[in-house]
Amino acid sequence: MSSGSQNIDSQRSRTVAAIAMGNFIEWFEFGLYGYFAVSISTTFFPDKSAGTALISTFMLFGIAFVSRPIGAILFGRYGDRVGRRGALSISIVGMSIATFLIGVIPGNHAIGLLAPALLLLMRLAQGFFAGAEMGGAVTALAEYAPPGQRGRYSGWNGFTQLLAQICAALIGTTLSALLTPESLNSWGWRIPFLIALPLGLVGLYMRTKLAESPEFTHAAHTDATTKSPLRDLLRLHWRPLLKVCGLTVGLTTTTYMLVGFFPSYLVKTVGLTSQQMFTAMLIGLSIAAVFVPIWARLSDTYGRKPFLVGGALSVTLLTFPVFLLASSGGYGPALAACVIAALLLSPLLAVQGVTSAELFPTAVRYTGVSMGISVIISLMGGSTPLILQALVQTTGNTVIPAAYITTAAAISLVAALTLKNNPSTAPIRARSESTSPVSTS
């Protein structure tokens, strides 16, 4: 292997590591909020009943998603006009600071209503920067990958999502084993939130050392960028935007069901201890993480469509059995339910990101991916734990959340069936731009 090839491979490895760090931080934070929802509810809503406090906590979880499309629009414009590296560097700093500050906000007993107000403000900040991070990470991973390996490279996006949840569950398992429930609820839950700041600083350092995306550099040098990415996206590329939205519906609801709702469901509804819940989630997510890189690599050979169709169909058919299994009682069935749910999610996590990136030309890719993902996450991601908890509480039916997830997965199944199944063999710009005009006005 020549020194030039070694340098390129080294640069690509550093790129994957830098982008994966930011993606890890984003999902680590969301995992923390879901895993520690019970502790957060007692800190910020101590005067309410357990069920009402939990719903209030999930409301703050959902409200924060309102700011995601705003971040997607602003950072998408920056990323498509100025470059991917700068946008990703800003997003990782903002996300890390907001997550850290959640860990230091005093509770309701100390500052009253100001406590949940500050929590809401930090959640809005997290949503704003997450709107920039998700689309940017997906775009950059696809653009840095060599032809024929975009699935393999982009699969790191889904893998780090699961890795972040695994780390959050591992920390939760450790804290719940070392601390009493009272200590965990009063101060122990804050520890993992504080970790986000040093992680973010490391990620920022790594990202500032990156070269600009080869695809963006090529577009800039050939005058193939646009002054108005959002306008061109909505005018020229609304069909692929709708496809990304459709694909994201099932992935989003299933993800936030698993990491945002299931932890508290297993504790409050099924009756597991916190330590049992953390252990079950840890095992399930770890098994799924093994399969994400496998599906991603196979998609380079067999195309994305089989994995998107198969994943959405599996979620549609098997979510009801998962909830029946979990609600049957006992640790064993709950563990099996966690493993199955995580496995159902794995093919969607593996290929949805690269599929979204391949649907847009370089000039509007950051904006298109960010908008398609962020709009759906804003509408359905943050609200999913709240809706599922409300369904259980109002109906008394512990299996009813499956109806919501199944409906969402069916929408993604329809979207996946409209895709062409092209293996990852040509440069990404050749596949997307050959059939997609770009305005440079």
Please tell me the least confidently modeled range out of 186-190, 379-383, 396-400: 379-383
Q: How confident is the model at residue 437 (pLDDT cuts 50, 70, 90)?
A: very low
Cβ–Cβ under 8 Å, residues 437 and 236: yes
pLDDT digits (tens, 9 = 90+) for 203-238: 888 888 877 778 888 888 877 778 889 999 999 999
What is the C-alpha to C-alpha distance for residues 154 and 297, in angstroms, rounded to an integer? 9
What is the C-alpha to C-alpha distance for residues 53 and 43, in angstroms, rounded to an integer? 10
Please tell me the least confidently modeled range out of 124-128, 207-211, 376-380: 207-211
Place of tokens 């390129």: 8
Q: Which two tokens stand for residue 344?
A: 């159902």
- For the segment 10-15, the average pLDDT, to the nearest whole number, is 74
CA angle in degrees (0–180, nearest 5) for 327-254-167 = 90
pLDDT computed for residue 30 by the predictor:
67
- For the segment 234-260, the average pLDDT, to the nearest whole number, is 93
pLDDT digits (tens, 9 = 90+) for 35-77: 787 788 888 887 776 667 777 777 777 777 888 899 999 998 9
What is the C-alpha to C-alpha distance for residues 18 and 359, in angstroms, rounded to an integer? 24
Three-state secondary-structure class, residue 106: coil
CA distances from 42 to 52, 108, 140, 381 (A): 11, 9, 40, 23
What is the C-alpha to C-alpha distance for residues 315 and 261, in angstroms, rounded to an integer? 16
Does residue 311 surpass a pLDDT of 90? yes
pLDDT computed for residue 268 by the predictor:
85
pLDDT computed for residue 9 by the predictor:
64
Does residue 316 surpass a pLDDT of 90? yes
pLDDT digits (tens, 9 = 90+) for 329-365: 899 999 999 999 999 999 999 999 999 999 999 899 9
- For the segment 288-310, the average pLDDT, to the nearest whole number, is 94
pLDDT computed for residue 157 by the predictor:
87
Please tell me the least confidently modeled range out of 145-149, 236-240, 423-427: 423-427
Does residue 122 surpass a pLDDT of 50? yes
106 vs 385, more confident: 106
User: Which CATH code of 1.20.1250.20, 3.40.1080.10, 3.40.50.620, 1.10.3210.10 fits the domain covering 12-433?
Assistant: 1.20.1250.20
- For the segment 12-30, the average pLDDT, to the nearest whole number, is 79
pLDDT computed for residue 39 by the predictor:
83
Does residue 25 surpass a pLDDT of 90? no
pLDDT computed for residue 426 by the predictor:
53
The winner for highest mean pLDDT among 14-23, 43-52, 170-179, 307-316 is 307-316
pLDDT computed for residue 83 by the predictor:
83
pLDDT digits (tens, 9 = 90+) for 162-176: 898 888 878 887 888
Does residue 27 surpass a pLDDT of 70? yes
185 vs 70, more confident: 70
- For the segment 10-31, the average pLDDT, to the nearest whole number, is 77
429 vs 226, more confident: 226
Q: How confident is the model at residue 441 (pLDDT cuts 50, 70, 90)?
A: very low
The percent of residues in the chain predicted with pLDDT above 70, rounded, is 92
Q: Which two tokens stand for residue 416?
A: 């996946």
